[in-house]
Amino acid sequence: MVMKVYPSEFKADAVALYLSDPTRTITSVARDLGISRETLRLWVRQAQAAGTAPAKARPVPKRSQAPLPSGDVEEENKQLKARIRELELERDILRRAAKYFAGETNW
């Protein structure tokens, strides 16, 4: 089996994608990126040992859909904007991964 060499930017993006969503597992992120889960697990451990990546956060409990008092609207907007940034980051990482893997094909 041939060992693949991944760019350091791709590794960092993969680790960031895994750490950005507390509900995702290493297996699901690795499957989405088309890499081995053990490879991603190794990258995460290396990043955490080097101090470049924090420990994975715990899952955030889902909020009820009850109407919000007016004071909570600003807090909800803050949370929604943070979620948008997170989703945009994930999208960008997946786009870069797709572009990287598309360039690897030798048809």
pLDDT at 55 over 90: no
Distance CA 30, CA 14 (A): 8
Return the pLDDT at 70: 64
Q: List the domain boundaries for the chain.
A: 16-57+76-104
**pLDDT one-digit tens code per residue, 14-54:** 998 898 888 889 999 999 888 999 999 999 999 988 877 66
Mean pLDDT for the chain? 82
Determine the Cα angle at 42 with ends 15 and 3, to 5°: 105
Residue 81's pLDDT band (boundaries 50, 70, 90)? very high
What distances in angstroms separate CA 75 from CA 15, 55, 82, 104, one per listed residue? 28, 25, 11, 44
Contact call for residues 20 and 90 (beta carbons, < 8 A): yes
